[in-house]
């Protein structure tokens, strides 16, 4: 069923592009490649590794192992007709509805046999203990081995060194579970590709900062969290380049992402993964554009292709989803200033302790620079209790408040 979903998605996009080559937007390119990734995951042809979102996917790609993280597949599954059934299945099996929807979706679908069996699972305590628990549960269900990366909270010398060694051990473990050897030349090439993608991403984000911004609220949603799945590959470079070219051409044509942009917003942490009208409403009613998603950011230096482990370790540690809230907040404030945002929306994904636990501290720090934050209460994956009307009312009030005050910049 899920394989069919990805095949339909792939052929649908390809047909649409064939019919109208001008419709080949970068967003479609990304969707096409994620459909292909999904096909590989579900075709039983590839060696799969389920991994946490801070695991270096480029290293796995260099080993010709197909990587995927739980939250990605959960966000795909929720868009299928069976989505609500998977939640119910998880809850019937005893997974509490108070826990993260991504992980409930994952467990519910795994128990129904809807998650392909990996060769190995790799997890980490960052970004969250719930994610680690979900991976342990998956390992139990699949009767497969679990490898745990310890990602330190701080970037200390000993922490980086130990994580770098852990990543080396991880590669060995992947090798012993898949039979795929990590070839030095392929690893070097993968790191060069990662660095190229990094450079393009950096340029994309610079373009997005322009006033008015060439991006709209959908262009770069989930971008910074999904694109790493393609790190180390030519496809990753192509996807990033297509976004860059598109934004560049919009700027050249004096075309902003949201026509008549009046309000610039930041979206914190996760987007809402199921269909909803919030972004459309923001753009249509208020000419408000989500110009920056918190996770669309480069926090790491280029990786040395000759000795990548230290660089990979530093990259994982530097993620906004790892470390103290103080560090995360500094990054958010930096983004707020760079993108000149008027306000931020924090969905406060229900069940996400590491994310929602930072709510009050984000609020107060943003207040200090004059940027208001709207905290919603949304399960970003589980649509069953989604009260769109109430959310729209709150967002409308927030927008009116922003309009009534001077810009912080």
Partner 1 sequence: MKDKSKLIGFTCAYTPLALIDAAGFAPYRILPMGDSPDQAGHILHENLCPHVKRVLDRGMQDDIPELSGIVFMNSCDTMRRLNDAWQKVRPNDNTLLVDLPVSNDPGSVSFFAEELALLTDTLSQWSGNNITPERIENSIGRYNELAMHLNELKKRVDNGTLKDGSLRLQTIYNKAATEPIKDVMEMIKQMIDETNELSDGGLPVYLFGNVLPDPEAFVLFESCGARIVSEDLCTGSRMTHSIETDKSSDVFKRLANGLLSRTACARTVDPINPGKMALDVVERANACNARGVIGHTVKFCDPYLARMPSVRDALKKEGISFLLLEGDCTMRSIGQHKTRIEAFIEMLR
Query: Closer to partner 1 at the Cβ: 94 or 389?
Result: 94
Q: Does 98 bind partner 1 (CB under 8 A)?
A: yes
228 Cβ contact partners less than 8 Å away, ≥ 6 residues apart: 53, 57, 58
> Cβ of residue 238: shortest distance to partner 1, in angstroms?
36
Identify which range of 128-136, 178-186, 245-253, 268-276 contacts partner 1 by CB under 8 A: 128-136
Of positions 34, 61, 89, 137, contacts partner 1 by CB under 8 A: 137
φ/ψ of residue 291, rounded to 5: -90, -20
Task: Point out which span in 47-55, 65-73, 121-129, 174-182 binds partner 1 (CB under 8 A).
Answer: 121-129
Give every CB contact of residue 283 below 8 A, 6+ residues apart in sequence. 216, 217, 258, 289
Q: Does 389 bind partner 1 (CB under 8 A)?
A: no
Per CB under 8 A, the segment of 66-74, 253-261, 287-295, 349-357 that binds partner 1 is 349-357
Our finding on whether 177 is near partner 1 (CB under 8 A) is no
> Could you tell me the smallest distance in angstroms from the CB atom of residue 290 to partner 1?
22
Shortest Cβ 189–partner 1 spacing (Å) = 28
384 binds partner 1 per the rule CB under 8 A = no
Exposure class string for 5-43: b at 16+ Cβ within 10 A, else e: bbbebbeebeeebeeeeeebebbebbebbbbbbbbbbbe
The answer to the question of residue 129 lying near partner 1 (CB under 8 A) is yes
Stretch of 45-53, 153-161, 279-287, 304-312 lying at the interface with partner 1 (CB under 8 A): 153-161
Torsion angle defined by CA atoms of residues 25, 26, 31 and 34, in that order, rounded to the nearest 10 degrees:
150
CB of 128 to partner 1, least distance (A): 5
Nearer to partner 1, 168 or 186 (CB): 168
330 binds partner 1 (CB under 8 A): no
Count the site residues for partner 1 by CB under 8 A. Answer: 49
The DSSP bridge pattern shows strands 66-69 and 48-51 to be parallel
User: Which residues, 6 or more positions from 224, have their beta carbon under 8 angstroms from its beta carbon?
Assistant: 201, 293, 295, 296, 297
Q: CB of 32: closest distance to partner 1 in angstroms?
A: 34
Which candidate, 237, 295, 287, 230, places its Cα nearest to that of 264? 287
Distances (CA, A) of 184 to 122, 172, 235, 301, 356: 22, 13, 20, 21, 41
5/359 Cα distance (integer angstroms): 36
- The DSSP line for 205-252 is HHHHTSSS-S--TTTTTTHHHHGGGGTTSHHHHHHHHHHHHHHHHHHH
Instruction: Select from 84, 159, 305, 408 the one that contacts partner 1 (CB under 8 A).
Output: 159
Does the protein bind partner 1 through residue 31 (CB under 8 A)?
no
Among residues 61, 66, 89, 99, which is the contact residue for partner 1, using CB under 8 A? 99
133 binds partner 1 (CB under 8 A): yes
- Closest alpha carbon to 39 in 61, 6, 66: 6
- H, E, C per residue of 45-90: CCCEEEECCCCCHHHHHHCCCEEEEHHHHHHHHCCCCCHHHHHHHH
**d(C-alpha 137, C-alpha 95), whole Å:** 11
Query: Contact between 407 and partner 1 (CB under 8 A)?
Result: no
Measured from the CB atom, is 22 or 157 closer to partner 1?
A: 157
Q: Is 134 in the site for partner 1 (CB under 8 A)?
A: yes
Beta-carbon-side half-sphere exposure of residue 260 (alpha carbons within 13 Å): 6
158 binds partner 1 (CB under 8 A): yes
Q: Is 166 in the site for partner 1 (CB under 8 A)?
A: yes
- Does 14 sit near partner 1 (CB under 8 A)? no
Does 69 bind partner 1 (CB under 8 A)? Our answer is: no
Binding site for partner 1 (CB under 8 A): 93-96, 98-100, 103, 125, 128-130, 132-134, 136-137, 139-140, 145-148, 150, 152-154, 156, 158-159, 162, 165-166, 169, 324-326, 348, 350-351, 353-354, 356-361, 364
């Amino acid at each position: 069923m899920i394989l069919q979903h990805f095949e339909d998605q792939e052929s649908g996009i390809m047909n649409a592009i064939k019919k109208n080559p001008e419709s080949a937007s970068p967003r479609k390119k990304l969707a096409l490649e994620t459909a292909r990734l999904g096909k590989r995951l579900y075709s039983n042809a590839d060696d799969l590794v389920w991994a946490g979102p801070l695991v270096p996917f480029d290293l796995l790609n260099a080993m010709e192992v197909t990587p995927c993280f739980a939250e990605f597949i959960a966000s795909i599954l929720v868009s299928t007709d069976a989505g609500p059934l998977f939640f119910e299945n998880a809850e019937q099996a005893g997974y509490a509805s108070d826990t993260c929807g991504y992980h409930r979706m994952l467990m519910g679908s795994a128990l129904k046999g809807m998650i392909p069996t990996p060769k190995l699972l790799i997890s980490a305590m960052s970004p969250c203990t719930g994610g680690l628990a979900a991976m342990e549960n998956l390992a139990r269900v699949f009767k497969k081995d679990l490898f745990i990366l310890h990602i330190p909270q701080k970037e200390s010398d000993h922490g980086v060194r130990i994580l770098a060694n852990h990543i080396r051990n991880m590669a060995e473990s992947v090798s012993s579970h898949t039979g795929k050897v990590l070839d030095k030349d392929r690893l070097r090439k993968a790191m060069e590709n990662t660095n190229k993608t990094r450079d393009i991403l950096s340029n994309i984000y610079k373009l997005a900062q322009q006033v008015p911004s060439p991006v709209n609220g959908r262009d770069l949603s989930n971008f910074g969290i999904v694109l790493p799945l393609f790190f180390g590959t030519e496809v990753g470079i192509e996807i990033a380049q297509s976004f860059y070219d598109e934004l560049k051409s919009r700027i050249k044509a004096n075309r902003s992402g949201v026509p008549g942009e009046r309000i610039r917003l930041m979206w914190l942490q996760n987007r809402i993964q199921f269909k909803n009208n919030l972004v459309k409403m923001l753009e249509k009613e208020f000419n408000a554009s989500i110009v920056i998603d918190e996770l669309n950011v480069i926090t790491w230096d280029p990786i040395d292709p000759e000795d990548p482990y230290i660089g990979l370790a530093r990259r994982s540690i530097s993620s906004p989803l790892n470390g103290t809230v103080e560090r995360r907040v500094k990054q958010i404030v930096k983004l707020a200033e760079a993108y000149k945002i008027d306000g931020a929306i924090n969905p406060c994904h229900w069940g996400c302790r590491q994310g929602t636990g930072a709510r009050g501290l984000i609020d107060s720090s943003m207040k200090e620079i004059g940027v208001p934050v709207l905290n919603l209460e949304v399960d970003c994956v589980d649509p069953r209790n989604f009260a769109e009307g109430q959310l729209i009312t709150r967002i409308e009030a927030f927008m009116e408040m922003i309009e009534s005050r001077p810009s912080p910049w």
